[in-house]
Structure 1
Amino acid sequence: MVDQLSSLRTVSTIVADTGEVMEVKHYQPQDVTTNISLILSAIKMPEYSDLMHASIAWAHTQSQNKERQVECAVEYLTVHLGAEIIQYIPGCISIAIDARFAYDVHNSIVQARRLAAIFNNHGISNKRILIKLAATWQGICAATHLEREGIRCNLTLLFSFAQARACAEAGVYLISPFIGRIFDWYQLRIGIKKYTAITDPGVIFGRKIYTYYKQHGYRTVIMCASFRNIDEILALAGCDCLTISPKFLKALSEQKGDITRKLFYHGVPQERPMQMTECEFLWQHHQDPMAVEKLAEGIRHFDIEQRNLEKMLLHLM
């Protein structure tokens, strides 16, 4: 009998949520997603020591300014770890820009272009990379510009329907609804300790986006992310993509059984609404206290991890 991971591959594209090459080799996903937290975790391992020192050496050739050297070293690490991972997957890798640019359109575009150029200089085309930006209004605006230049984007930290709608209307390549973090908020704030796969608020959100996108013919890829349990993953089987951590990839690969597709749409196409304005986006997004809190929390967390990585590199310089 086939294992659940193999069965799941027949209805959704499997993406590994990791920065570790050995896990990518083992589970053989189509694509890989990384973030600053995963990169920080990976490079603490002894096998990445040479990459750390190479990044510092390269940074010294780029600038005499210490602050800029640290920035260059982080970019080198991000790209070279991504380039190594790409060797073992047929698809693309998502890499994140600095979280401190979450509300800065100009610097988001500048850094995204710089990261893409470094990849290109290593013979890796834009078709193999996705630039991750926080799904703020500014992040979505930056993605709009980048998409027009042929740099595809992954809009992450997505918690509200306003974010999902604005991303689709902007024509971004892919979104990452954070299913598990939504679940976390409702458990903590509402006080319900047990949710089924049907009542899980993160799963409900993922299904709502899927139905809306298919109803209106949006081509933006939906990649559900940040799962807290296997039931959430199985409840979203059939979503365009599922990015799954190694511990759940392992659990799925060890469990036998066919997966039943849960998401599909056979309804009548509907006319798209008028494109949202910035005011409409902000008003609608801020009607959802969960989304407001989790978006801000996510940006702060990635900023902390960015600073921790910079401190580690600065210490070695």
Structure 2
Amino acid sequence: MASSLDHLKKFTTVVADTGDFEGTMVLTQASTSLAIKKYAPVDATTNPSLILLASRMTQYSHLIDEAVKYGKQSKDPDSQVNAAFDRVFVLFGNEILKCIPGRVSTEVDSCYSFDTSKQVEVARHLISMYEDMGVSKDRILIKLSSTWEGIQAAKILESQYGIHCNLTLMFSLCQAVACAEAGVTLISPFVGRVLDWYVAKHGKRTFERLEDPGVQLVTKIYNYYKTYGYKTQIMGASFRNREQILGLTGCDLLTIAPSLLEELAQLKELPEPYLNKEKTISAMGDKSDARPPPMNEATFRWLLNEDEMATDKLCDGVRRFAKDANTLRDLLRDRLKAL
């Protein structure tokens, strides 16, 4: 009998959420040694937290060494750290691409989340480094925070430079709508962090599969996109349990941590897809020729402000990724000083 993971792959593109391409990272106490190679995902995602975790593992020390040597070519200490920092992400991404047929997501430092021009600059630099390694930009998704500035940066990158973007730290429909209108390639709603907020705020810890607030958010976005004919892909992310994953069977893509990939590989439940484009259009109609007027900045900021959960989690996510990015910079700074 097929596993739940095999079944899921019939309806959804499965993506590995890890920087550990060799698969020796233990992400939870219950997890075993897991690998990108073992579960054969199509794509892979990384973020500063995952790269920081992987960079502390001895089997990847050669990549850190290579990044430090690259950074050392810059003139002043701060420039050396920044050069090494960008290089680390590209080196890990390049190695991951050797293990998958599809794309890898590489993130722009979230400290630039409110600076459109800086995000464009860094994104173009990352793509340039990939291309110098012989990697086509079509295999890279540049990850940007789903702030107004991040969405505008993605619009520029997509329309002017043909650089595909993955908008992350997404917690609301207004963020998703703004991304679709900007022509973004892919969005990543954070299912688990939505649940975390509701647990902390209201105390309820368990939900039925389709009642989970994170699952409901992705379902709402999915139905909106399919009803209005947007091409932006939806990739559910940040899962806390397998029920959330199974509840989004049929979503365009799901990025899943190795520990949960292992659970799904052992499970035999075979649910029908809860998300289905044809069923959505049949129920809600095809409104691709009747889209609402484009969202402007004032409307975006107001709608986000009115969504307490989305506002809290977006700000918290930016801070968390920035903190881990700074920790990684400190690690690289120490290595540079030791040379």
- The aligned runs of 1:73-88 (5 Å cut-off) are 73-88=84-99
Amino acid across the alignment from 1:282: R
Question: What is the DSSP-based 3-state SS (H/G/I as helix, E as strand, rest coil) of the residue aligned with 2:72?
Answer: helix
CA RMSD, 1 decimal: 0.8
Aligned-pair CA distance for 1:199: 1.4
**Partner of 1:17 in structure 2?**
17
Letter in 2 for 1:89: I
TM-superposed CA distance for 1:227, in Å, is 0.7
Q: Deviations over 1:165-201 (max 9, x none)?
A: 1001111000000011000100110222221112111
Q: Deviations over 1:80-127 (max 9, x none)?
A: 110010011110000100111000001100000000000011111111
Distance, in Å, in 2 between the alignment partners of 1:72 and 1:230 is 38
1:173, 1:223 → 2: CA distance?
A: 11
Query: What SS is found at the alignment partner of 1:248?
Result: helix
Alignment of structure 1 residues 55-70 onto 2, 5 Å: 55-61=67-73, 63-70=74-81
Inter-partner Cα distance in structure 2 for 1:187 and 1:169: 32
2:132 matched to 1:115?
no
Deviations 1:242-295 (A, max 9, x none): 000000000001112423211112322111100001000000111100000000
Match of 1:312 in 2: 331
Find the aligned partners of 2:214 and 2:153 in 1 and give their Cα distance.
Answer: 26
SS in 1 for 2:328: helix
* Letter paired with 2:205: K
Pairing of 1:151-300 with structure 2 (within 5 A):
151-264=163-276, 265-267=280-282, 268-270=285-287, 271-300=290-319
> Distance between the aligned counterparts of 2:40 and 2:297, measured in 1?
40
1-structure distance, mates of 2:274, 2:205: 24
Shift of 1:202: 0.7
SS in 1 for 2:217: helix
* Matching of residue 105 in structure 1 with residue 113 in structure 2: no
Q: CA deviation at 1:49?
A: 1.1
Q: What amino acid maps onto 1:5 in structure 2?
A: L
Distance 2:327 2:127 in 1: 24
Aligned residues: 316
Q: CA deviation at 1:308?
A: 0.3
2-structure distance, mates of 1:100, 1:266: 39
5+ residue gaps, structure 1, are none
Greater shift in the superposed pair: 97-106 or 52-61: 52-61
Match of 2:3 in 1: 3
Runs of 4+ in structure 1 over 6 Å off: none
User: Secondary structure at 2:209's aligned position in 1?
Assistant: coil
Q: Aligned partners of 1:241, 1:198: CA distance in 2, in Å?
A: 18
Q: 1:132 aligns with which of 131, 140, 143?
A: 143
Equivalent-residue separation in structure 2 for 1:274 and 1:241 (angstroms): 27
Which residue type is aligned with residue 314 of structure 1?
R
Counterpart for residue 31 of structure 2 = none
1:51 aligns with 2:63: yes
Alignment partner of 1:15: what SS?
strand
Equivalent residue of 2:234, what SS?
strand
Structure 2 gap segments, 5+ residues each = 23-34
Give the secondary-structure state (helix, strand or coil) at the position aligned to 1:286. helix
- TM-score normalised by the chain length of structure 2: 0.92
Amino acid at match of 2:223: T
The CA distance in 1 between the partners of 2:330 and 2:206, in whole Å, is 40
TM, length-normalised to structure 1: 0.98
In 1, Cα distance between equivalents of 2:88 and 2:206 = 40
State the distance in 1 between where 2:172 and 2:4 align. Answer: 30
SS of equivalent to 2:235: strand
Q: Residue 286 of structure 2 aligns to which amino acid in structure 1?
A: P
